Amino acid sequence: MDIPFEPIIFGVKLNIHLILEYAAFFVGFRYYIHLKKYTQDPITNNNRLSIIVGAVFGAFLGSRVVAFLENPIFSYKAEYFLLILNAKTIMGGLFGGLFGVEATKKLINETKSSGDLFTFPIILGIIVGRIGCFLAGVNEFTYGIETTSFLGMDLGDGIMRYPIALFEVVFLMILWVFLKHIQKKKILKNGLLFQYFMISYFSFRFIIEFLKPNTFLIFGLSSIQYLCILCWLYYHKTIRNLFYAN
């Protein structure tokens, strides 16, 4: 199979990345609905719906803002604004969604943690989306720098690169198993499962960013890495408790 993977069916070239991107939202949401049926949700249905709406709007804005900060170039051309609207990053979506949720909970006076029910659907959605990114090769900025190691792959430009998207899929599968194990073995405080996911995923992304050919850096770090640091600061109490517990 060649990468980028662009199959032609009935004379039409399919955009596998776009198809799997939409599939990621569909599969993740359907899995959330499935889990909700078998989970005793401490939040009422009306408040849960409000929280989902807040998460969607927060994720939309956050994903665009962080995507812009990855390569902040200004232009007044119409096509540039369309490019900004189409640009997005899962990291900004996660953190923007988090703030959208917290803002919504303030408005509706909801004090209970709401993230645990979203944890595994989010992981599943990212896995599906990242498979699409991997199949898109160098058409999506989820590829790594050039390498001579055995981990290198030709992602479509004739250069052996780190397959960052594939690394992420493997990491998320391992994280899924790990979080499921914790969920079964321990009685966690409500909200901790989601926090463990965010801390783990953002820590992984901080490290993997060093393998990406980023061009816009501040003091040697990318915008995504500064977002990871912001996540650590946001969850500093949980991180501190993890170290003290060990």
- The torsion region of residue 87 among left (phi > 0), alpha (psi -120 to 50) and beta comes to beta
Name the DSSP class of 154.
Answer: E
The pLDDT of residue 246 is above 60? no
Q: What SS3 class is residue 146?
A: strand
- Whether the Cβ atoms of residue 70 and residue 223 lie closer than 8 Å to each other: yes
Sign of CA pseudo-dihedral 88, 91, 93, 99 = negative
Please report whether residue 152 resides in a domain. yes
- pLDDT of 60 reads 79
Q: How far apart are the first and last CA of the chain?
A: 46
Q: How many domains does the chain have?
A: 1
Please report whether residue 235 resides in a domain. yes
Please report whether residue 216 resides in a domain. yes
- pLDDT of 99 reads 86
* Better-predicted residue by pLDDT, 83 or 186: 186
- pLDDT of 75 reads 56
- Whether the Cβ atoms of residue 230 and residue 94 lie closer than 8 Å to each other: no
Please report whether residue 230 resides in a domain. yes
* CA gap 104, 55 in Å, rounded: 8
Highest mean pLDDT among 51-60, 62-71, 94-103, 156-165: 156-165
Nearest to 214 by CA among 93, 68, 70: 70
Question: What's the pLDDT tens digit per position in 95-154?
Answer: 888 888 888 988 888 877 767 888 999 999 999 999 999 998 888 888 899 999 999 999
| Ranges assigned E (strand) in 10-165 | 12-13, 153-154, 160-161
Please report whether residue 229 resides in a domain. yes
* Better-predicted residue by pLDDT, 46 or 64: 46
Please report whether residue 133 resides in a domain. yes
Please report whether residue 56 resides in a domain. no
Sign of CA pseudo-dihedral 178, 44, 94, 125 = positive
Q: What SS3 class is residue 169?
A: helix
Kind and range of the H or E run holding 14: none
The pLDDT of residue 48 is above 90? no
Q: Rounded to two decimals, what is the model's pTM?
A: 0.88
Range of lowest pLDDT (15-24, 173-182, 194-203): 15-24
The pLDDT of residue 43 is above 60? yes
Q: Following DSSP, what letter does each residue of 20-36 receive, concatenated? A: HHHHHHHHHHHHHHHHH
User: Which domain, by its residues, includes 186?
Assistant: 8-42+112-245
Please report whether residue 211 resides in a domain. yes
Confidence band of 81 (pLDDT split at 50, 70, 90): low
* CA gap 131, 233 in Å, rounded: 30
**Residue 179: half-sphere exposure toward Cβ, Cα within 13 Å:** 26
